[in-house]
Amino acid sequence: MLLYVVDKIGFIEIRVTGTKGNLDLSPENYDIREIISILENAENLLYPGDKKDRPTISYNIEEGSVKHILKTSIQYIIGFNAIIGQISQVQNIDFLDFSTAKAFENIQDIARKRNYVFSIKTSIDNSYEVHVDRTTTFYRKEAIWADAEFYFYGKVTNAGGKDKANIHIFTDELGTLLINTPINFLKEYNENILYKRLGIRAKGKQHSETGEIDTTTLKFIELVDYQPTYDEEYLNTLIEKASQSWAKINDKDAWLKEIRGSYE
């Protein structure tokens, strides 16, 4: 007999109240682009990291005024409930990782632009709740993000774009990164870089305290020569050069002790 184990499901509720002209907000007058915006931000609220292997998120829209119901694995709902509890307590989002913080900033922008009120909570008993409206200020402090340069190594999975070109590179540490790249570089580069392991030098924003990288700000600088395989010939060349330098030293042990000083 086969037994199937189904993950327990929970949900987050994003309730939006406001007006459209003289009408109260409802699913009937709520535009599809507004729905898309909420769905994109909700995914980052629940899964701020690499989304390739994330669990399924299902969606319902309900009356009252507009309720977005997003269902997924209960363990992620529990984690998100803790996050909104901390936000409710400290009333800032500086402690969040980039994707989650950016999602809250986007919701804050919508609240100010459209004079909406957002109430965000979960299905957990006695759930924490966060309110976002035109008077709240859920934005990160600009001063904590600084310009920086990075080197990323991995496999190129995509390259190009109609208006804005990007190189998609899959890295072991950060998953897939999208690096804004000049179209002229991709057009004039002679070799096919798709599915090859490469190094890319890029610039972007980095958190001055946590070291976190704002992956949406990455811009291409140059390709970097990347040889991940073991190169025996190169290693032997280094050994030979080192041997020639050591050949002039008579008492190598005494020389090492002098260099080390009192380290030992």
Q: Up-side HSE of residue 133: CA atoms within 13 Å toward CB?
A: 6
Give the Å distances, CA to CA, from 224 to 68, 154, 209, 216.
Answer: 45, 11, 28, 21
Query: Is 123 found in the same domain as 147?
Result: no
> What is the C-alpha to C-alpha distance for residues 92 and 101, in angstroms, rounded to an integer?
10
Res 2: pLDDT: 40
Place of tokens 């950016």: 102
Tens-digit pLDDT profile for residues 142-158: 657 789 999 999 999 99
What is the domain extent for residue 162? 143-224
**Cβ–Cβ under 8 Å, residues 177 and 159:** no
Query: Is 151 found in the same domain as 112?
Result: no
- Is the residue at 160 inside a domain? yes
In angstroms, how far apart are the furthest CA atoms of the chain? 94
Which two tokens mark 123?
């299905």
For the beta carbon of residue 101, count every other beta carbon within 10 angstroms. 23
Q: What b/e sequence results for 73-93 when a residue is b if at least 16 CB atoms lie within 10 Å of its CB, and e otherwise?
A: bbebbeebbebbbebeeeebb
- The residue from 140, 160, 182 where one domain ends is 140
Query: Is 169 found in the same domain as 75?
Result: no
Res 228: pLDDT: 63
Question: Is the pLDDT assigned to residue 257 strictly greater than 70?
Answer: no
- The residue from 90, 125, 140 where one domain ends is 140
> What is the C-alpha to C-alpha distance for residues 264 and 9, in angstroms, rounded to an integer?
59
For residue 5, name the pLDDT band (cuts at 50, 70, 90): very low
> What is the C-alpha to C-alpha distance for residues 212 and 135, in angstroms, rounded to an integer?
28
Query: Is 147 found in the same domain as 133?
Result: no
Tens-digit pLDDT profile for residues 44-83: 998 887 777 889 999 999 998 999 999 999 999 999 999 9
Of 135-139, 161-165, 254-258, the range with the lowest mean pLDDT is 254-258
Question: Is the pLDDT assigned to residue 103 strictly greater than 70?
Answer: yes
For the residues 153-164, what does the mean pLDDT come to?
88
Question: Is the pLDDT assigned to residue 3 strictly greater than 60?
Answer: no
For residue 240, name the pLDDT band (cuts at 50, 70, 90): confident
Question: Is the pLDDT assigned to residue 262 strictly greater than 60?
Answer: no
- Is the residue at 104 inside a domain? yes
Instruction: Choose from 98-102, 217-221, 247-251 the range with maximum mean pLDDT.
Output: 217-221
For the residues 241-249, what does the mean pLDDT come to?
67
Query: Is 114 found in the same domain as 14?
Result: yes
Taking all residues of the chain, what is their mean pLDDT, rounded to a whole number? 86
For residue 207, name the pLDDT band (cuts at 50, 70, 90): confident
What is the domain count for the chain? 2
Query: Is 197 found in the same domain as 211?
Result: yes
What angle is formed at CA 120 by the lines to CA 118 and CA 123, rounded to 5 degrees? Answer: 145
Res 123: pLDDT: 96
pTM (predicted TM-score): 0.61
Query: Is 53 found in the same domain as 85?
Result: yes
